[in-house]
Amino acid sequence: MENSVPLRSEVKNKYKWDIDTLYFNKEGVLRDTRKLNEMIEEIQSYKGRLTESADTLYSCLKIVEKASRLCEVMSTYTFMKRDED
């Protein structure tokens, strides 16, 4: 008996990744790419200022965390989309 991997089009939807919960379309990815670029610019504005105060450091770290989470969503979507048939 020969084992073969079926094409994605031959697999029932209930067995497929539902990446539409991450992004419904390419425009959503592009929107978040712009948002991430803005966050990176904002993070760069903290260069040389992190030791000014605890509040300054905390503010920067909050932005870094948000950017990191956004990167996770974007990379998950991108890799899952790439692995589709």
Q: How does pLDDT run across 53-71, given as a tens digit for each residue?
A: 999 999 999 999 999 999 9
pLDDT: which is higher, 51 or 24: 51
- Output the six-digit token pair for 43: 């993070």
Give the Å distances, CA to CA, from 60 to 11, 33, 35, 49, 66: 45, 19, 16, 10, 10
Q: What is the pLDDT of residues 1-21, one digit of tens each?
A: 578 888 878 889 888 888 888
Residue 29: what pLDDT? 92
Short-list 25, 17, 33, 38, CA closest to 74: 33
Contacts by 16-21, CB closer than 8 A, 24 or more apart: 17/80, 17/84, 19/77, 19/80, 19/81
